[in-house]
Amino acid sequence: MSATAHPARTAPDQPAVQVEQLQKRFALAHRSPGEGGIVALDKVSFTVEHGELFGFIGPDGAGKTTLFRLLVSLLVPDGGRATVLGLEVVRNYRALRPRVGYMAGRFSLYPDLSVEENLRFFASVFGTTIDREFEQIKPIYTQLQPFRDRRAAALSGGMKQKLALCCALVHRPDILFLDEPTTGVDAVSRREFWDLLGVLKRSGLTTIVSTPYMDEATRCDRVALIHHGKLLGIDTPSDIAAAFGRPLLAVRETARYKALLALRTYEHVHSVYPFGDVMHYTDAREDAPVARIVEDVKTFLFAHGFAGASVEPLAPTVEDSFIARTEGAP
């Protein structure tokens, strides 16, 4: 697949996105705006370079959607400053909006229109046509073409997301914001969607994507970990995983829940938590050799009746690093 290259239209030495101390608070229904409320973003600062595939990784309620709405000028911040493509998002919103592609977290196209009708409508909003922008949307449109006459409401979850992506691209934006685009779709559709993002990256399009799925972080150039409105760290996925800081063990046991409760009473435990079909364990002894920790944990489990347990060293993931950074967080 190929896609049309996206030359940056901002100064070469200026980031595609620059955010400084951005804040947003939502007042509670029974209080006035001056009486506190929910802090959705708490003095967030970061930059995104041109051509990056940049990810925001965090659970529901972390502040991802609020941040994206601020950056595409759908919300006004309570403090701080943000520029996108060299344009201040509040003061220059009219100039910014035609240059931004935005895919909301919820399916927001017209369900009673067909695939083709949705695309033609969104193209017309920006004064263009599908034919004129075909090379831009070709990688995605070719997958949608067999369903071009189908109502959007009748599409599968994965196809709905591809249609939404196509509509966000049809006016040839300079930057793309995708808010949890793979939430609620199957594993195959998730992989296909990220493959499409890889095609867009190779074309030079700056893409910022949010997701609650930690495994998707590896598809990004850099990721920001976000939790309760705060950034916990920004780095490449490999460096975030490498910064985990402690030996990590994978513990397998048929009676997993009972073994988990037992390990939480172990005198040297630092943390232990379920992770898929295993448990991830870290030890409080920072200087102990990994081999010794493995044997000690095995001995403890065997002594507590878990003779079939297996314990082995494991390379940490972005999710392990995220869990470690949120331990004890409010």
Q: Output phi, psi for 298, to 5 deg.
A: -60, -45
CATH number listed for the domain at residues 244-326: 3.30.70.100
Domain ranges for the chain: 17-109+174-241, 244-326
> E strands of 5-107, at which residues?
17-26, 38-48, 53-57, 79-84, 87-88, 100-103
pTM recorded for the entire structure? 0.87
Strand 310-314 relative to strand 278-283: parallel, antiparallel, unpaired? Answer: unpaired
What gap in Å lies between CA 172 and CA 185, rounded to an integer?
Answer: 26
pLDDT score, position 31: 61
| Domain 17-109+174-241 grouped into CATH 1.10.3720.10 | no
- Weakly modelled stretches of the chain, pLDDT under 50: 1-5, 7-8, 329-330
Q: Which of 163, 169, 181, 165 is nearest to 118 (CA)?
A: 163
Q: Which of 6, 103, 95, 13 is nearest to 51 (CA)?
A: 6
pLDDT score, position 37: 79
For the chain, give percent helix, strand, coil, nearest 5: 35, 25, 40
Instruction: Identify the bridge partners of residue 227 per DSSP, sorted by sequence position.
Output: 230
Half-sphere exposure of 74 (CA within 13 A, CB side): 12
For residue 13, give both structure tokens: 């030495």
Contact indicator for 59, 214 with CB cutoff of 8 Å: no
12: helix, strand or coil: coil
Q: Indicate the angle between helix axes 115-125 and 157-169, nearest 10 degrees.
A: 20
The amino acid that residue 82 corresponds to is A
pLDDT score, position 8: 47
36: helix, strand or coil: coil
Buried b (16+ CB within 10 A) or exposed e, 128-154: eebeebeebbbbbbeebeebeeeebee
What gap in Å lies between CA 175 and CA 80, rounded to an integer?
Answer: 21
